[in-house]
Amino acid sequence: MFRYVPVLVTTMLAVGSMNAAANPSTVRSSSFVSSSATAFAASTVAQDDIAAKVKAALKADADLGAQADAVTVTAAGNIVTIEGTVPSVQIRARVAEFVMKIDGVGKLVNKLKLAKK
């Protein structure tokens, strides 16, 4: 979904500009559309920033850095989802605890699975 946001925002802004040029009485509503689109794009960037921040922190940690490549991090608002496969229950719990301590993470959805032996 997030891959299409720049196209959606650009389209919405272009249509809003064309409507404003064609009919000056709609300037007010097109301004709302462009401000909403801008706010949506900004929130998407913030979500990507939180996910990148979590991933970078995992990689930088001395104990969990080796597991960082096996963990996929996504964010929706302040809700962070971690997915992947880890070798033990202890590592799964440590990764979850570590992620919850990162600034900007409000809720964690832990979908980490244990590696089969």
Structural domain count, the chain = 1
Predicted TM-score (pTM) of this structure: 0.60
pLDDT in tens, 34-50: 444 444 444 555 667 89
DSSP letter (8 states) at residue 87: S
User: Which of 97, 23, 99 is CA-nearest to residue 56?
Assistant: 99
Tokens encoding 80: 């962070």
The CATH number linked to 46 is 3.30.300
Q: The tokens 């960037």 sit on which residue? A: 45
On the question of pLDDT at 65 being above 80, the answer is: yes
Residues 112 and 23: their CA atoms lie apart, in Å, by 53
Name, of 1-5, 11-15, 104-108, the range with top average pLDDT: 104-108
The boundaries of the domain holding residue 47 are 2-114
Task: Compute the C-alpha angle 40/42/47, nearest 5°.
Answer: 95
pLDDT in tens, 13-38: 444 544 555 555 544 444 444 444 44
pLDDT in tens, 77-103: 899 999 999 999 999 999 999 999 999
